[in-house]
């Protein structure tokens, strides 16, 4: 694809594509002449990822650049790019960076390690682990349940949902027999944001429905 064709296919303006090139978010295409380059499916997938990060995750350019660097480095495993994408979707610091200053020096909430042990999940540092610790300390500060049994009530069904998410992220292979890292990360970010919203809405719907049923049962 030439630049104008890539712009049409992606929905990004040619000016935006050039800007992403200058900022290091989009790799160069294959040079045809001194002024023309050929772009392929991976460039289209990268632009789709950038659009999701900018428009849905509201990610700043520097965070997207960092993710692009990880995706474009053949020595970096896919899991590192996924961790960075999770950090962006959760609005958290990157796992390779320092722990958040809020709560610095505070011991991790005991339910975190207990949960990992109960679920037989790897006992490693990660963006979600740090986020869970923060949530549990917040719940405890509000004098709301934050013990292991409370966490397990949510973790067990969410583990099944997460398993389906992982299968979706891996998806169907492309024409070359593989799914690109960009597409995996795109699905991870979009899925995290969209399906988190779905869970919130379904829970709210459940609250309303159960309250109405309880009220009707009372009147009977």
Section 2-22 average pLDDT: 94
SS3 38: strand
List 37's β-bridge partners, or say none.
Answer: 31
Position with higher pLDDT, 122 vs 94: 122
Q: What percent of the chain has pLDDT over 70?
A: 91
Contacts of 74-79 spanning 24+ positions with Cβ under 8 A: 78/181, 78/184
Confidence of residue 64 (pLDDT cuts 50, 70, 90): very high
Does this model's pTM top 0.95?
no
Residue 176 has pLDDT above 60, yes or no: no
Question: What's the pLDDT tens digit per position in 23-45?
Answer: 999 998 898 887 789 999 999 99
Task: Pinpoint the alpha helices (H) of the chain.
Answer: 3-10, 14-22, 41-55, 61-72, 78-90, 110-119, 127-141, 148-170, 181-219
Confidence of residue 194 (pLDDT cuts 50, 70, 90): confident
Confidence of residue 19 (pLDDT cuts 50, 70, 90): very high
Residue 61 has pLDDT above 90, yes or no: yes
Residues 6+ apart with CB under 8 A from 191: 165, 168, 169
Q: What is the DSSP letter of 143?
A: T
Mean pLDDT check: name the lowest of 8-17, 72-81, 141-150, 172-181.
Answer: 172-181
How confident is the model at residue 188, as a pLDDT?
85
Instruction: Show the CA angle centred on residue 187, arms to residues 182 and 191, nearest 5°.
Output: 155
Section 73-84 average pLDDT: 91
Domain range annotation of the chain:
3-219
The mean predicted confidence, pLDDT, of the chain is 88
Residues 6+ apart with CB under 8 A from 171: 179, 183, 184, 187
How confident is the model at residue 205, as a pLDDT?
96
Question: What's the pLDDT tens digit per position in 99-157?
Answer: 554 555 789 999 999 999 999 999 999 888 998 999 999 999 999 999 999 999 999 99
Q: What percent of the chain has pLDDT over 90?
A: 58
Residue 220 has pLDDT above 80, yes or no: no
């Amino acid at each position: 694809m030439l630049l104008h064709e890539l712009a049409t296919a992606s929905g990004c303006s040619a000016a935006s594509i050039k800007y992403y090139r200058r900022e290091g978010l989009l790799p160069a295409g294959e040079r045809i002449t001194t002024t023309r380059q050929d772009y392929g499916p991976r460039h289209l997938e990268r632009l789709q990822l950038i659009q999701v990060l900018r428009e849905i995750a509201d990610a700043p350019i520097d965070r997207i650049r960092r993710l692009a660097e990880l995706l474009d480095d053949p020595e970096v495993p896919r899991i590192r790019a996924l961790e960075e994408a999770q950090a962006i979707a959760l609005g958290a610091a990157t796992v390779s960076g320092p722990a958040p200053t809020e709560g610095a020096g505070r011991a991790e909430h005991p339910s975190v390690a207990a949960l990992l042990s109960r679920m037989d999940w790897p006992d490693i540092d990660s963006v979600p682990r740090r986020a869970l610790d923060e949530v549990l300390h917040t719940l405890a500060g509000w004098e709301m349940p934050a013990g292991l049994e409370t966490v397990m009530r949510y973790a067990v069904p969410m583990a099944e949902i997460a398993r389906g998410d992982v299968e979706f992220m891996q998806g169907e292979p492309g024409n070359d027999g593989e799914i690109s890292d960009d597409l995996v990360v795109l699905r991870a970010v979009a899925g995290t944001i969209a399906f988190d919203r779905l869970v919130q809405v379904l829970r709210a719907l459940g609250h309303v429905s159960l309250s109405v049923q309880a009220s009707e049962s009372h009147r009977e």
